[in-house]
Amino acid sequence: MLGPQKEAAEQIGISKIIGVATPRVDGPLKTTGSAMYASDFHLPGLVYAWPTTATIASGSVTGIDLSTAKGMPGVLAIYTHENIGPLYRTPPAPVLSLMIDETRPPLEDTTIRYYGQYVAVAVAETMEQARAAAEAVKVTYSKTAHNTDVHLIGSGVNTPKEVTKRGNTTDALKSAAIKHDAIYSTPTETHNPIELHASVASYKDGKFTLYETSQAVGNHRDVLAAVLGAPPDSVQVITRFLGSGFGGKLWPWPHSALAASCSRNLNRPVKLVVSRSMMFQSVGHRPAIDQRIQLAATSTGKLTAIQQDYVNHTSVQDDYDEGCGEATGFIYSCPNVLVTGNLARRNVGTPTSMRGPGAVPGLYALESAMDELALKLEMDPVELRLINEPEMDESTGKPFSSRHLKECLSVGAEKFGWAKRNPTVGSMKNADGLTLGWGMAACSWIATRIDAEASVELRQDGTARIVCGAQDIGGGTYTVIAQMVAHETGVPVRRVEVVLGDSSLPPGPISGGSWATASLTPAVLDAARSAIKAIVLAATKANGSPFKGKQESELEFVDGGVRGKGGDGTTLSFSDVLKLSKAKGVSGSGKSQGVFGDNQSPYSFHSYGAQFAEVTWQPEIARLRVSRIVTVIDAGRMLNPRTAKNQIEGAVVMGVGMAMLEATEYEERSGAPINSSLADYIVAVSADCPQIDVTFLDYPDFKLNSLGARGVGEIGLAGVAAAIANAVQHATGVRARRLPIRIEDLLSAPEPSPSFA
């Protein structure tokens, strides 16, 4: 650790700001309704667009009758594949550049690939008029057989791709003393943030301005520029606030290009808000996944083989790979590991990232299988994981930058009271006579950082302003950035203005992958130090300054002021330096170089955790509830423990939904997602929330950045569904290998492990 990074690491322990629970700086805007979300923007001359969606899942459009719709009140235009104007596909690009999941531009042709695909769009003076016109468009189809089957094993379209491989799993599985072999299935899950996807597009004088629901404004700009055939500098994307995204708003979807194209055609601002039912059709989802897990171990519990073969569904036109083996290669020590992946094409919209893509469903399968292996070994599940702790990342041969999974397991077990667990099924009761089930799981999530830039201005009025083209998607980025600037400059958090969510600002990281904070930290600190350096220089030159004529090396900046090194004598606030300099402010810029995908990086960067779950079971009325979750997280230094805890708590509740409630169902005859409303797609609500106990282990990861921060957006969800499934088995004796766990599963006899002879 060298230079500023070492200095920051030394100072972090005594910071009055970093690591302190801090209220959200954007909280007053949100609680008063002043925060502007994408669909809140109402531009002069605004009109509304509403798509017409396909009512078949496979086939082609044979005719579109617009005669009735065109004559309806307020209708300005109706666009189809014949008149929407030029829209293009994005060209090949490097990783994390021009990212888009549904690669086909809207209304490109007449082929129908999934139910709900856009076939036309109506534009009118009001939203009600646009919707009425869109629904009056008469479309005829030539229908062909569709496939929305969620049973995926054996239906992959390619030769399975090797994701991770070491040793020889075939031989190890054959010779194993103890082995386990089972299939675990997770359903299609649909992101359901309260804020619907929306685009407000304006085209004027050759420039597009889009107010968007985006988790990556810079990428959104570049993709829209390519799709529209416009120079990137003629497109501006703005996302001031986001009503959550969970990964579904990472990359642009067809409605955004439709809104922009309609605005260009009409030369008027256009608002297009996707309906709740369309959220199940054309803006992505976590795919259905089948995973076969094979484990082999010695009689003492040492793993000798792990094989994971997964198949996820994707659309008929795009290759979306969930990446379920993300954690399998390094989470446990094992000499023989093989992970393969495959895709099964289905007539559904293209899947996309959903909170914890890859690791979350992958760890559900692996950690369920580890629990079943522990039962065969007659070994405590925590002990099984502890004895298989690796000394390094065995998938790469690199040392871990920081890994405290063993402590997560031991601290979690102590806080949960795991020592009191009776392993006999159904043997434990609470004070109300309900059967208790206790289960646990380990978890992991990638830690990394990507390129970022920022600019900090110190102003004569004693305030600071920082600008960055990142975005706050609800996790607290505005606040954490304000804390970092305050920590470095001495300006109180309340006096730091944070400006985000605009692609015209210095490029920031995407808000996905739990990467934003780790990526922003070096850039923000660098920018603040650059501005501080300018203040110190100004103090040596300003008339009336007690430091005029001194060398910069003789001075230091502490708590918002310049003083001589050693702390003796006068301190001049940066505000006074600027007044003496007759300058309104000084600025500094900073950059952060990413390490994502850098094979030359000397370390393996990940976060870790342990999830402990308690369920209560009333067999008399078949009532199952998750009553308690204890989660212990090793994710570096928490810059703001308050917002970090919020993230983990929200992720845990999402894990309850994953385990017990959520599944998108496709109607067999039409191929439509039929539970496409918040009345029919069941998510966890307040009444479903268990008691949640969150503990953060305080081990800053200074190898990742100088504040030791890693992200927490995803790690809180990883392992939760497995811990709940393991607890259900302990309470009921039923091993649920297909999520969500339904009451019907618990009323029937347990299924035997499938045979793969």
Compute the distance between CA of residue 470 and CA of residue 688 in angstroms, rounded to an integer: 33
Q: Do the Cβ atoms of 447 and 601 come closer than 8 Å? A: no
Q: What's at 35, amino acid-wise?
A: A
Structure tokens at 216: 């990556």
Task: Please tell me the predicted confidence (pLDDT) of residue 351.
Answer: 98
Compute the distance between CA of residue 646 and CA of residue 634 in angstroms, rounded to an integer: 16
Strand partners, 592: 452
Task: Read off the pTM.
Answer: 0.96
- Tell me 469's DSSP state: B
Task: Please tell me the predicted confidence (pLDDT) of residue 14.
Answer: 63
Task: Please tell me the predicted confidence (pLDDT) of residue 594.
Answer: 87
Q: Give me the torsion for CA of 298, 385, 614, 737, rounded to 10°.
A: -60
Cβ within 8 Å of residue 667, ≥6 positions away: 673, 674
Compute the distance between CA of residue 267 and CA of residue 561 in angstroms, rounded to an integer: 52
For the chain, the C-alpha Rg in angstroms (whole number) is: 28
Respond yes or no on whether the N-terminal peptide bond of residue 740 is cis (omega within 30° of 0).
yes
Q: Give me the torsion for CA of 360, 602, 93, 501, rounded to 10°.
A: 70
Q: What's at 149, amino acid-wise?
A: D
SS3 261: helix
Task: Please tell me the predicted confidence (pLDDT) of residue 161.
Answer: 93
Q: What's at 350, amino acid-wise?
A: T
Compute the distance between CA of residue 339 and CA of residue 355 in angstroms, rounded to an integer: 21
Q: Do the Cβ atoms of 605 and 595 come closer than 8 Å? A: yes
Structure tokens at 538: 């100004």
Angle at 174 between CA 170 and CA 180, to 5 degrees: 95
Q: Do the Cβ atoms of 95 and 597 come closer than 8 Å? A: yes
Cβ within 8 Å of residue 66, ≥6 positions away: 78, 80, 120, 137
pLDDT digit string, tens, across residues 545-572: 999 999 999 999 999 999 999 887 899 9
Distances, alpha carbon 229 to alpha carbons 234, 257, 262, 265, 269, in Å: 10, 11, 14, 14, 19
Residue closest to 554 by CA, chosen among 542, 569, 544: 569
Known catalytic residues are: 714
pLDDT digit string, tens, across residues 576-623: 999 999 999 999 999 998 888 777 889 999 999 999 999 999 999 999
Task: Please tell me the predicted confidence (pLDDT) of residue 3.
Answer: 39
Task: Please tell me the predicted confidence (pLDDT) of residue 724.
Answer: 98
Backbone angle region of 167, left / alpha / beta, with phi > 0 → left and psi within -120 to 50 → alpha: left
Task: Please tell me the predicted confidence (pLDDT) of residue 440.
Answer: 98
**Which residue is associated with the tokens 């921060």?**
709
Write the DSSP string, 23-88. Answer: --TTHHHHHTT---BGGG---TT-EEEEEEE-SSSSEEEEEEE-HHHHTSTTEEEEE-TTTS----
- What number of residues does the chain have? 757
What are the structural domains of the chain? 38-146+197-273 (3.90.1170.50), 289-448+600-747 (3.30.365.10), 449-592 (3.30.365.10)
String of b and e for 457-492 (b: at least 16 CB within 10 Å)?
Answer: bbbbebbbbbbbbbbbbbbbbbbbbbbbbbbbbbbe
Residues (pLDDT < 70) of the chain are 1-14, 749-757
Around 623, how many Cα atoms within 13 Å sit in the side-chain half-sphere? 8
Task: Please tell me the predicted confidence (pLDDT) of residue 755.
Answer: 39
